[in-house]
Structure formats: C-alpha cells, structure tokens
Structure 1
Amino acid sequence: MAKRRKLTRRQKAEIFQAQNGQCIDCGTKLSVGEVEWDHRKERRMAVDEEDAKAREDLSNFAGICPTCHLAKTAEWAGIHAKAERQGGRTGQQARRAAGKTQAIPSGPMPGTKASGWKRKFDGTVERRN
C-alpha cells in the first residue's frame, strides 16, 4: 500500500485557507490548534496500489473539527471491522481456518437428554418423531 503522507505546514495552511477556516463537515469555525486532518476517501478502503496513491493526494485531505473526526472514525471503525470479518481475516472464519475452533455439534447439550417435545416458530409445541 502507498506510504502514508505527512502534510507539511504549508500544505495544511493551503487546505485550511481553501476551506475558509471551517470544518468541512459541520461548518464550525476552526482555530489553528484544533484542526484534525482527515482523508476524505478512506485510506484503508483502497482497492489497489493505484487507488491507494490517489487517496494520498493532497486533494483528498480536509481539516475537520475533533467532534466530526471522532464521529467519522467511530463509524468507519465498524465498517473496517465488518470488511475484515467478511474477508475472512478476523472472526470465526479466520479461527476455524487456523484450526482454533470447530463447529458446534447439533442436538441436545452434552450431559442432557432430549425431552421428546419441540417448540415451533409459531409458539405451538408438538412431539418429536
């Protein structure tokens, strides 16, 4: 993946001026010390090396307030976690592939016996066959 870009003071000043000193998300007036620098297109969601380089372009950066940055980070943390699970890199699929877990057998719990009755989804109860 493309190396993370470090913004210079001049680049930060240019972005800050282009935004008229306001948060790009909520429009709050920002003071110089409270600006947080954000990738508008998420860096981790790049599909290939070329896309990763494009996401490090200066036009993909914006200054936002800490409140908006915290909210965006929280939202994207869940999205990243889901992508990792679906990709099989974390979660049960990854543990099963590594041999660290096994499927749960069906049937009554160990040490118990089946009652002979079953409850259907509509709430009715009937004898097992």
Structure 2
Amino acid sequence: MSKLPQRERVVIPERKEMTLAREVAILRRYARCGGCGKPLTARSQYVYDHEIPLEICGRDEPDDMRPLCHDCDKPKTAADQGVIARAKRLAGETCAGPTRRPIPPGRPMDGTKASGLKRGFDGRVTRR
C-alpha cells in the first residue's frame, strides 16, 4: 500500500469547437508563433495548442491557448505526453499489476547461490 493520500481522478473537459470568435481572441494575443516567434500568415502554418494540457488541469479557454508552428508543436506535444504519463503514474492510473518480476522457483531467497551449481567463465553451469 502506498503512503500517499488517494488522489481524485481529474475530469478532462471536452474541447470546445474552434469558432471564429475564439480564434480571433487567441490571435489578438499572439500574432506570431508562441514558441519561436515566427510570423504566421496562413492558417495551414500553425495549430492551436494548450499551454497547460487539458489532461493535467488545463483549461479550454482562449487565454490558455496559443498558436504554434508545426516545428514548435511537435516537441511541445512530445514533452506534454511525458508529463501526462508521469501524472497518470503518480495518480496510480497506469499500474496494471506488480512492478517487479517475481522470483523464479528454486532460487534461494537469502542471496546465496543455488546449492551444488556453479557457473564458469564461459557461462556453462556445472555441479560442484
């Protein structure tokens, strides 16, 4: 049993539709890429990214979103996936079973070698 207090599962809100009003509210704050500062001219050059991912208590509001060019979005998304996985591990959501391999039968528990067997430098097992 863990000594950590039991955590509540975070309810992830559904993403709202990207309306023209939301897009304008985001672009008023950012006229350039939120990562590298490159000017964004065409809509196909960028995606809208949550600064704090929804899976770790981010909000689906325009003040938590920014446009990122595709070059900046890929590493940010990869970093977010690592943070989300860590948060799930800490919350105990990904533990499917024992984390250590079980000790195989016939192996002594006290740290001594198995009785009567010896492994040579070439890797072969022989009797003593």
TM range (shorter): 0.5 to 0.7
Give how far 1:16 is off: 2.2
AA partner of residue 64 (structure 2): N
More helix per residue:
1
TM-score, normalised by the number of residues in structure 1: 0.62
Residue 102 to residue 59, structure 1, CA distance change in 2 (3 Å): closer
Indicate the residue corresponding to 2:33 in structure 1: 23
Indicate the residue corresponding to 1:105 in structure 2: 103
Aligned residues: 101
Distance in structure 1 (CA, Å) of the matches to 2:19 and 2:73: 20
Give how far 1:67 is off: 1.1
1:36 partner SS: strand
TM-score, normalised by the number of residues in structure 2: 0.63
Alpha-carbon RMSD = 3.0
CA contact (8 A) 1:23 1:63 kept: yes
Give how far 1:95 is off: 2.2
Q: Cα deviation per residue 1:41-94 (whole Å; 9 max; x = unaligned)?
A: 221101xxxxx6xx112211111111111111001111111222222221xx32
Indicate the residue corresponding to 1:77 in structure 2: 81
Uncovered stretches (5+) of structure 1, i.e. residues with no partner? 47-51, 117-129
Matches of residues 1-129 of structure 1 in structure 2 within 5 Å? 1=11, 2-20=13-31, 22-32=32-42, 33-46=44-57, 55-90=59-94, 93-96=95-98, 104-105=102-103, 108=107, 113=114
CA contact (8 A) 1:39 1:60 kept: yes
Task: Detail structure 1 runs of 4+ shifted over 6 Å in the superposition.
Answer: none
Uncovered stretches (5+) of structure 2, i.e. residues with no partner? 1-10, 119-128
Distance in structure 2 (CA, Å) of the matches to 1:15 and 1:83: 28
Residue 9 to residue 104, structure 1, CA distance change in 2 (3 Å): same
Give how far 1:103 is off: 5.1
Give how far 1:18 is off: 3.1
Between the aligned residues of both structures, percent identity stands at 24
